[in-house]
Amino acid sequence: MGRRDVLLLDKAELTSGSTWHAAGLVGQLRSHRNLTRMLTYSVELYEMLGDETDLCTGGKQSGCLYLASTADRMCELKKAASTARTFGLEMHSISPREALDLFPLLVIDDLAGAAFMPTDGEADPAGIAMALIKGTRNRGCKVREHTLVTGFQREGRSIAFAYLPVEQASRIGGFEIEVYRELHPVPLRPQRQFVDPGREKLPARAR
Ligand SMILES: Cc1cc2nc3c(=O)[nH]c(=O)nc-3n(C[C@H](O)[C@H](O)[C@H](O)COP(=O)(O)OP(=O)(O)OC[C@H]3O[C@@H](n4cnc5c(N)ncnc54)[C@H](O)[C@@H]3O)c2cc1C
């Protein structure tokens, strides 16, 4: 995105949110093309980040096995495999025996089949977050932990400002902080009118 005047605020410590809980599985295939492209890019990014920042992201392309215990599920996996290929991802449908070769602890008695995506894998969520922070700091991003964002203000069709409590604001200069202007303008939908056909608008409290 190319922005360098970025200030990242966190009310607690970095990685103390959901990132702290994440298992670290890195899967790429999603039903939406753009999500899949984003996740595929993430896999490349995690590799680059390690080299660039000298921090360990724990990225490993150990592959992912998708199991099917019914013929219907197997059909779904075959469809997923062909979708993956249209996104440029390698994914093969395989037999239960081939799945067992890949993961010898598997019980295959009731397995209809499986699919394997070799470029999926795992990573260390906190390691990735720290490498991302180091990479962005190197490019001029500033980070303030223990700084609560208390609200946003709508400006036209974007959400533009975040305010901090006075005591915290004074610590970082006492000014209002622009968070999302231009970078992430959030389009706001026009207020929805709930109209009962053939009648007046519903009373305000029912909207
Ligand atoms: C149990 C579990 C397992 C998961 N496993 C996986 C997995 O295997 N693979 C995977 O890809 N994803 C997984 N996820 C999802 C993944 O953890 C999240 O998608 C990811 O961590 C989100 O990162 P984030 O930076 O957007 O949010 P967070 O890590 O939640 O960061 C949000 C930050 O915002 C700060 N904050 C909140 N409110 C304010 C405020 N008002 N002012 C200032 N700061 C504020 C918080 O302190 C926090 O540090 C898992 C999630 C959970 C819960």
| Digit-coded pLDDT (tens) for 167-196 | 554 444 444 444 444 334 444 444 444 444
- Which atom of ligand 1 is the closest one to the Cα of 149? 42
Per the CATH hierarchy, to which homologous superfamily does domain 19-125 belong?
Answer: D-Amino Acid Oxidase, subunit A, domain 2 (3.30.9.10)
Cα(198) to centroid of ligand 1, in Å? 46
Which residues are registered as beta bridge partners of 121? 26
Q: What are phi and psi of 155, to 5 degrees?
A: -130, 105
Least confident window among 8-12, 43-47, 139-143: 8-12
Contact in structure between 30 and 91 (CB atoms under 8 Å)? no
In the chain, where the domains are located: 19-125, 147-207
Q: How far is the CA of 22 from the centre of ligand 1 (A)?
A: 8
Rounded distance between C-alpha atoms, residue 139 and residue 42, angstroms = 19
Q: What is the pTM of this model?
A: 0.76
Q: Name the residue of 7, 13, 18, 26 whose CB sits within 8 Å of the most ligand 1 atoms, as the mutation to test its pocket.
A: 18
Report how far ligand 1's centroid is from the alpha carbon of 42 (Å).
16
190 CB burial (10 A radius; 0-12, 13-18, 19+)? exposed
CA-closest residue to ligand 1 atom 12: 22
Q: Which residue has the higher pLDDT, 185 or 57?
A: 57
Ligand 1 center from residue 103 Cα (angstroms) = 30
User: With the CA atoms of 115, 118, 124 and 129 taken in that order, what torsion angle do they form, in degrees rounded to the nearest 10?
Assistant: -100
